[in-house]
Amino acid sequence: MKKKEAQAELLKPKKTVTERERTFAMIAIPILILFFLFNTLPLIKGFIYSFTNFKGYGSYEWVGLRNYIDLFTDARVGKSYLFTVKLAFFTTILVNVLSLLMALGLNAKIKFKSALRGMYFLPNILGALVVGYIFNYFFTYIVPAIFHSTSILASGSKAWIAVMIVCAWQAIAMNTIIYISGLQTVPEDVYEAGMLDGATGWSKFRHLTFPLIIPFFTINMVLCMKNFLMVFDQIMALTKGGPAQSTESISFLIYNNGMSGGQFGFQSANAVIFFIVIVTISVFQMRFLNSKEEQL
């Protein structure tokens, strides 16, 4: 009897907790299962396929690490990594320099400030594929007509510049807005104090403004790099990887050869490597830029 009472005592406060705990568990568990099914499970499957010679249909065999070994000797894969990294690197620099300039301009004392900001943000909301098609026409017909030249998209050595311009056209809109929100966090009295010390122009930017907006610089660098490494829509609309496979991004190659080229297994291995590259670059970038942030 005594025991029972004690038990009831013990259970009582616990029961109110369990209602809350049970509700949370009933929320979290189905969601975790859903996430597992459409994220982790395909990730594991992709990893498993990477050790097979699966074509995407029919039977397949285990080939061990052969796909991985072949990846490093495959000229087409190597070329696509070179192209993607080159594109991501130069586009990230171009976008960040121009965005910062744009943000400084749009944050200055100008007329029609909000209207201009709204207009400059416009490219970001448009679909990359359709934008790509529009620029495809622009590069194929308008630009050659102006400069009496051949189309840049037909040049194996220069087509990547067209891809860079289209990527930048949309990304600048986004990064400018992020830099503007960064500039707005800089308190006005910092500038006033700087003005007394004679800081103007470049030195004002270099020593006052920029250190204060470094967190936003970090965001933009990481966002840009990640997005451009995964570039797909622009390639699809502008070059389809051509001419002569000179603009095949990694995502495009995985899609093209993995889905319809009978290289399901091989491209799965490529995707695993790509995944590792993305994680490494993102982590490295965040570490590097964070340490810079702390120094200042």
Residues 273 and 265: their CA atoms lie apart, in Å, by 13
Map tokens 């830029």 to a residue. Answer: 289
Residues 226 and 229: their CA atoms lie apart, in Å, by 5
For the chain, percent helix, then strand, then coil, each to nearest 5? 80, 0, 20
CB of 56 to another protein, least distance (A): 7
Residue 33 within binding range of another protein, rule CB under 8 A: no
Residue 279 within binding range of another protein, rule CB under 8 A: yes
Residues 136 and 155: their CA atoms lie apart, in Å, by 13
Residue 11 vs 37, nearer CB to another protein: 37
DSSP state of 52: B
Among 9, 11, 38, 284, binds another protein (CB under 8 A): 38
Residue 286 within binding range of another protein, rule CB under 8 A: no
CB of 74 to another protein, least distance (A): 16
CB of 44 to another protein, least distance (A): 8
Interface positions, 219-278, toward another protein (CB under 8 A): 219, 223, 230, 232-233, 236-237, 250-251, 254-255, 258-259, 264, 267-268, 271-272, 274-275, 278
Q: Which residues contact 220 (CB under 8 A, 6 or more apart)?
A: 95, 96, 99, 175, 178, 179
Stretch binding another protein (CB under 8 A), from 36-44, 63-71, 83-91, 198-206: 36-44
Residue 193 within binding range of another protein, rule CB under 8 A: no
| Tokens of residue 110, six digits | 């100008």
CB of 84 to another protein, least distance (A): 11
CB of 192 to another protein, least distance (A): 10
Residue 162 CB burial class (10 angstroms; 0-12, 13-18, ≥19):
buried
Contact 256, 178 (CB under 8 A): no
Residue 169 within binding range of another protein, rule CB under 8 A: yes
Interface positions, 81-140, toward another protein (CB under 8 A): 102, 105-106, 108-112, 116-131, 133-135, 137-138
Residue from 231, 235, 260 nearest 245 by CA: 235
Interface positions, 208-227, toward another protein (CB under 8 A): 216, 219, 223
